[in-house]
Amino acid sequence: MSSGYFEKRTELELTNLFSGLISANHILHKHGVLDGYGHISVRNPDNHDTFFMSRSMAPALVSTTQDIIEYNVRDGEPEGPTNEHHFMERFIHSELYKKFPNVYCVLHCHMSDVLPYSISRVPLRPSITTAGFLSSEVPVWDINSASPDKHDLLVSSTKLGHAFCAAFAKTNTSVNFIYNKLSSSISGSHAEPPTEPEHSVVLMRGHGVTITGKGIEEVVFKAIYTQAAARAQTSAVTLSRAHFNDLAEGKVESEGGGKIKGGKVKKSEDIHYLSTKEIVDTREMIRQTMARSWPMWLREVDVDPLYVNELKKGP
C-alpha cells in the first residue's frame, strides 16, 4: 500500500516514501501508539537488504530526510558511516526483515492499553470487527526464554532479535496455521520456510508490542486498532465481572475460616470474541477498506503545529 512498491522508481518516489514514514511517526504519536519511545521502519523497496528508520529521537519530532537512516538487514547496522545515535532495539526490525521476505514495515511500541495483556496472563483476542487481523490469541514473548545477558527487557542484539522473531511463527492456534496446515495436507506438499509471519502482532512481556505488515499504512492501521481492541476487551471484561461476578448458588454453609461447604459457584459470563469464520471474513473486509482512514490521519497531523514534515513543503 505504501507508495513506491514498484519495480521502477524515481528519486521523487523515494522522497514520497520518506514523507510517508515521517507522517507515520506523527500519526502514531497523535493516536498514543508512540510517545518519546518506539520506532517504525520500512524496507527499502529498491534494495530488500536494507531498511529505513529514523535516528534515535522522539517520533513526534522526526521531520526531514536528515532524520532518516538506512540500515542493513544483515546486522542492523547503518549502511554507511554516520555520527547519529541509533535505536538500541533496531535489531527487532533487522531480524524480522531477515526472517520474513514479505514484511515491508515493522513497528515497535509500548501502548499502555495493550501492555496489561503482556503481564496478566489474560490473552489479547480479537473481539471487534476492525481487529480481525489479530490472531485468535495474540502471542506473548518473554525475553527470559532467550537467556539475555542483561535483564532490561530490551532486544538489543541480533541474537535476541533472532529469538524474538520465532514468536511470530510459533504457535499452532492461529487461524492462518489451521488453514495452511489443511492446505498442505490436501496437496501433499511440505511446508516451505515462511515468507511472512504467522502472527502480525506479538506482545513482549512487560515491555511492548511489535507489529508487522506489507506497508506503512497497513502497520499504522493495525497499531491503532490493536489499541482499540485492547480497550474494548478490557472494558468488556471489567463490565462482565461487575455485572455477573462469581455467584454462590444453592445452600451455602460456612465453616471456620470462611470455607464454603455445599452449594456451587456460578461463573462469570464469557466475553463474546470473534469466531474463526468471523476472523477470516473481517480480515478480507479490512484488506478492502484499510486505506480509507489514511488521508484523514494525514490531515490530522498536517494541521497540528506540533508535527513538521519538511518533505511536504515542496510544490
Catalytic residue list: 89
DSSP string, the chain: --TT-SSS--HHHHHHHHHHHHHHHHHHHHTTS-SSS-EEEEE-TT-TTEEEEE-SS-GGG--SGGGEEEEETTTS-BSS---S---TTHHHHHHHHHH-TT--EEEEE--TTTTHHHHSSPPP---SGGGTTS-SS--EE-GGGG--SS-S----SHHHHHHHHGGGG--S-SHHHHHHHHHHHHHTPPPPPPSS-S-SEEEETTTEEEEEESSHHHHHHHHHHHHHHHHHHHHHHHHHHHHT--EEES--EE-TTS-EESSEEEPPPPP-PPPHHHHHHHHHHHHHHGGGSHHHHHHHHHT-TT---GGGS--
- Residues 51 and 169: their CA atoms lie apart, in Å, by 22
Pairing of strands 201-204, 208-213: antiparallel
Residue for grid cell 517504525: 40
Which amino acid makes up residue 304? D
Q: Are 210 and 155 in contact (CB under 8 A)?
A: no
Grid cell listed for 308: 513538521
Helix axes 276-289, 175-187, angle to 10 degrees: 100
